[in-house]
Structure 1
């Protein structure tokens, strides 16, 4: 039979009024016969006694036709400041970081952020730390300049090797020195090889001229893109000479007006157009305000649509330049301190949906910003933290809710997004991905409140019959639960695909299934043909 599929627009990922070619759902006259699939059924967490509200049933029809967007390997990664390159966590003998990263599928790390232009000093000849003026970012800020040498890159290489990870590095543009940047790139490639994705030129140069304090003002207030273009050209040419295989990533900005001009520079060896995006940037409003940082606002369809538009704009900017669009620094907010989402299942739910929806709009990497400081006293919204006392790290890395969500996203695996049609509850988001081996994964994000809303009744129609159907789920008792997020109840990336339990009610040969999925969860349904 044929089912009409409304066009999905890049602007908001909502169904438009015009219908393109219908999607085809194959129903054979003589259905195939399959061997029984009698594996035990998956058991979700108990539903809260207060979760009695019922939402309308949701129908998801998946097409065989691809959208043209890909789900890459290693979609999500960790972003941290460059000055952390010389701390104990990147010494495999003192830290469990490599073991934690190894739990993920194709992990990636990005170094950069504000420290790279202020407190990051590279030397391959053991020069003394320069006498730079260090302006504090906040009262009591006494963070020192980090001296980075080839030995630190060797330590990093051990961590990357242990975890099968890759890395995106950055060079200091705040202190203009193309030769030093080129030397760093040369050494980085010599030591890291193909584990090095590339190097970024500084961090947020569009903000170098912000006259809001000495910490931020790295250039005269008259500094413009034209000035940046001269500096970026000098850096990229020096790097291309010293390390011709190293990719340049940029412009690493939070201002869309720089994207096109950066690409138009046609710098040598550009590997990606990188941008930063923190969708909840109103730090002054109370949580109950329309722009306040609350669970309701962050998980809303309104914010999801707005974020999708931003991702779509980034993808539109790179079309014709043969480079991908990467969100190289993001989180739900850049505001300091704790908020309603800190370390909660809600933060995990936002992360999964934000990453998957960005990918459907064409973004192929996202790096969620954090640090490796103390779990108590360090940045509260970091995906990872050190379990030792404040300023007394023990090297034992703890995984917070957001890191579980990053692992869940990467667990989907590489493939092609398929067209789909959704009717029913607006807080249900499906992401079907066809893999090269013919298997199909459907990520279903249920953003409803698990404390008040009963499991969603979802009817899923697939492009064809299937032989097996299993599931894995990211969950916690409630959206507000702190540090209780797990995948399949495990302190890891969950049960491997080959060993996952059967979708409740699934029978071999099914093409349409109906399943109740708990509110406040992210679920991957895996099907084999």
Structure 2
């Protein structure tokens, strides 16, 4: 049995060192059947040491800019999108991605579009988004076109968006993945030196319209150190992008890869540089586009129950290390149907199951949504140091909530089994607790996912089943759970 502490340093790759706040244990076969009464893991929570903050707006969703023009789309008065966002608490909607630079133009006067553009957005589209965030309390990061940059259009869009979105406009950003502009919308050899003056022109246009600015939205941590050193006075938030698995929809990666210790090492390695860059100038880091795999994800990996467990674990892992929030990329279009960029968003947290649902604005939560919902139920607060001792693929996170209660999430990433296992949670205090379970029929199933036996209602609301009750002895709580599931334990201090 191996023991990994939140205070232990793990060396990853060529000299990179990161503090491992969650516990990651490589998946391995169990020797025989573990008796139900024998804990397969022990989680020890040190309530005297905090280990970071879980922000109230840690959850986020990310969309291509052309989704703004869809109807009913973000309209809170039609369909169920307002209820779905409310079900996740308060969060951040990021609008931008590749569409913002390559085929979307700000076109409020509805003039003929230039040859490169496929979609024009205007006043009505901003108005729908503004109504949604005012109804739900969510905030917005709104991207503008840097690929085909027109400072007058950028300033005009900012001037319209700022008063409509008001305090819900967290920031506006210039373009998406500018580190990939070369040979696309810029000449060969385009790099940070050419990008910087363009960004500064874009930032000036945004500020002329009253907007705060975020950036640079590069992928893989590129340009961040130089950018934050040069531009920290112009931005309120540093943004980056990364996906856990590469290869896109043609990848041969499996759910085992997604839930593996090597995936976690990659995730931790991927935030080391960005967090250092953000910390050097005391600006928050938000991963404003992310998901399980790039280019729409992997069918059978990104759209199944394993992705729910992964999303919960990934969000808490990065948040505990200091990332202020994560925006999971997706669509509000049809499930499994390519969009204008010819990509299917297998990884999307939400999508419309049928054409009729799309027309009515009725979206169906997908597996990733349930992982995010579990994080919401954990609630904001301060992370506590947690140590897990186990030979299984189990991680755990502890949070002292703003209500004074201690909550512990245990994520068992082993294959689903009908044979229950027990986990001993040592808090050192408390006598009565409750537990909610995130469950699914198998890691590769897209259906049957529930929290305490309940699913999100068609209208987008959610009420979990009655929580299970557990009794502590000397501050120890024994949690019985299904392999391939997650448990949320709540104990009053």
TM above 0.5, yes or no, is: yes
Map 1:30-429 to 2 at 5 A: 53-54=33-34, 57-88=40-71, 89-124=73-108, 126-133=109-116, 144-145=118-119, 147-209=120-182, 211=183, 217-243=184-210, 246-283=211-248, 287=252, 293-336=253-296, 338-378=298-338, 379=344, 380-389=346-355, 393-429=359-395
Q: How far does residue 327 in structure 1 lie from its aligned partner after superposition?
A: 0.8
SS for the counterpart of 1:186 is: helix
Q: How far does residue 420 in structure 1 lie from its aligned partner after superposition?
A: 2.0
SS for the counterpart of 1:233 is: helix
User: For the residues of structure 2 that align with 1:392 and 1:479, how far apart are their CA atoms?
Assistant: 28
Q: For the structure 1 residues 6 and 283, does the alpha-carbon distance in structure 2 shift closer, same or farther, using more than 3 Å as the test?
A: closer
Conserved in 2, the CA contact under 8 Å of 1:96 and 1:397?
A: yes
RMSD: 2.8
Q: For the structure 1 residues 382 and 437, does the alpha-carbon distance in structure 2 shift closer, same or farther, using more than 3 Å as the test?
A: closer
Q: For the structure 1 residues 87 and 198, does the alpha-carbon distance in structure 2 shift closer, same or farther, using more than 3 Å as the test?
A: same
User: For the residues of structure 2 that align with 1:346 and 1:112, how far apart are their CA atoms?
Assistant: 27
SS for the counterpart of 1:256 is: coil
Q: How far does residue 13 in structure 1 lie from its aligned partner after superposition?
A: 4.4
Q: For the structure 1 residues 85 and 285, does the alpha-carbon distance in structure 2 shift closer, same or farther, using more than 3 Å as the test?
A: closer
TM-score for both structures, normalised by structure 2: 0.87
Q: For the structure 1 residues 284 and 64, does the alpha-carbon distance in structure 2 shift closer, same or farther, using more than 3 Å as the test?
A: closer
Q: For the structure 1 residues 15 and 229, does the alpha-carbon distance in structure 2 shift closer, same or farther, using more than 3 Å as the test?
A: closer
SS for the counterpart of 1:257 is: coil
Conserved in 2, the CA contact under 8 Å of 1:456 and 1:517?
A: yes
Which residue number corresponds to residue 22 of structure 1? none
Conserved in 2, the CA contact under 8 Å of 1:472 and 1:495?
A: no
- Please list the CA deviations of residues 220-240 of structure 1 after superposition, one character each: whole Å capped at 9, or x if unmatched: 012110111001111112222
Q: How far does residue 431 in structure 1 lie from its aligned partner after superposition?
A: 0.4
Which residue number corresponds to residue 214 of structure 1? none
- Gaps spanning 5+ residues in structure 2: where? 11-16, 23-30, 339-343
Query: Which deviates further from its counterpart, 407-416 or 266-275?
Result: 266-275
User: For the residues of structure 1 that align with 2:219 and 2:275, how far apart are their CA atoms?
Assistant: 15
Which residue number corresponds to residue 490 of structure 1? 454
Q: Please identify the structure whose Cα radius of gyration is greater.
A: 1
Conserved in 1, the CA contact under 8 Å of 2:65 and 2:100?
A: yes
SS for the counterpart of 2:292 is: coil
Q: How far does residue 284 in structure 1 lie from its aligned partner after superposition?
A: 8.4
Which residue number corresponds to residue 471 of structure 1? 435
Which residue number corresponds to residue 25 of structure 1? none
Q: How far does residue 339 in structure 1 lie from its aligned partner after superposition?
A: 2.6
Conserved in 1, the CA contact under 8 Å of 2:92 and 2:138?
A: yes
Conserved in 1, the CA contact under 8 Å of 2:62 and 2:330?
A: yes
- Gaps spanning 5+ residues in structure 1: where? 17-50, 135-143, 212-216, 288-292
Q: How far does residue 373 in structure 1 lie from its aligned partner after superposition?
A: 1.4
User: For the residues of structure 2 that align with 1:226 and 1:83, how far apart are their CA atoms?
Assistant: 29
User: For the residues of structure 1 that align with 2:63 and 2:127, how far apart are their CA atoms?
Assistant: 18
Question: Is structure 2 residue 28 aligned with structure 1 residue 8?
Answer: no
Q: How far does residue 472 in structure 1 lie from its aligned partner after superposition?
A: 1.6
User: For the residues of structure 2 that align with 1:335 and 1:52, how far apart are their CA atoms?
Assistant: 40
TM-score for both structures, normalised by structure 1: 0.81
Q: How far does residue 392 in structure 1 lie from its aligned partner after superposition?
A: 6.3
Q: How far does residue 64 in structure 1 lie from its aligned partner after superposition?
A: 1.9
SS for the counterpart of 1:349 is: helix
User: For the residues of structure 1 that align with 2:55 and 2:135, how far apart are their CA atoms?
Assistant: 22
Q: How far does residue 182 in structure 1 lie from its aligned partner after superposition?
A: 2.2
